[in-house]
Amino acid sequence: MRAPSAPETMGLPLEIADLAVWADGGRRLLSIEALALAPGACLGVAGPSGAGKSTFLYALAGLSPRATGRIGWGEVDLLALSRGRRAAFRRDNMGFVFQDFLLFEELGATANAALLGAFLPARRRGALAARARAELAALNVPLDPPRRVRTYSGGERQRVALARALANDPGVILADEPTASLDRETKDRLVDDLTREVRASGKTMIAVSHDRALLDRMDRVLTIENGEVAG
């Protein structure tokens, strides 16, 4: 485990105003009047299944085509950007951790963790690969001998996914049920890994989860029910 070091890319502040996400037929899926989050804060998002938690996360990433209002990441209003500029913003500023890992099973851990390099200019790929290896080492992912990630345990694969999310040094980490596919012991280790790495690097994190152990480690927990903030 590495000691916490000074963050390279600080987390971004978040400011939401009059956010609404709509289904194709015009039904409103999510409504959040106002929300502010300081840079480097960790926000947990709780609520029953189907309440709108993942819809909220996708909106924060600029992935909801029918979202209105304002999602301000720092000085950038994400919803005011074109589709291409939203994609560029995600690439440069966000890392994602999902419950299903979304790894290329035939590749090794390092190749998976450095996958974003395929979409970066050649001059940036070396630094990203080096950071990916450093994150894998910090998360105690076994790399010797090299092997495909399909041979790794669920917890090891999720740590590869976490290293991938951190490798580009993003200001924001978005996590969607990152511990859901794991047993309790592995969940607890992953929660420790995730919160330690995010806090050590000063990143802003928003994590959707049913896992009380993860939610209890957040600075604040937002509960969404029926597409609205409860309480």
Residue 177 region by backbone torsions, left for phi larger than 0, else alpha for psi between -120 and 50, else beta: left
pLDDT at residue 117 in the model: 84
Classify residue 109 by burial, with Cβ atoms within 10 Å: 0-12, 13-18, 19+: buried
Alpha helices in 64-153 (DSSP H): 83-93, 109-113, 122-138
Inter-CA distances, 102 with 137, 158, 217, Å: 20, 9, 25
Written as one string, the DSSP assignment of 187-208 is HHHHHHHHHHHHHHTT-EEEEE
pLDDT at residue 119 in the model: 81
Number of Cβ within 10 Å of residue 188's Cβ equals 16
Class for the domain spanning 38-65+80-226: alpha beta
Considering the entire predicted model, what is its pTM?
0.90
CB 43 within 8 A of CB 13: no
In sequence order, the 6+-apart residues with CB closer than 8 A to the CB of 185 are none
Cα–Cα distance for residue pair 159/9, rounded to 1 Å: 21
Blockwise average pLDDT, block size 10, the chain, 231 residues:
48 97 93 96 96 96 95 97 95 92 94 89 87 92 92 94 93 94 91 91 95 96 96 62
Name which of 174, 207, 167 is nearest 191 in CA terms.
207
Number of Cβ within 10 Å of residue 144's Cβ equals 5
Query: Where are the domains positioned within the chain?
Result: 38-65+80-226
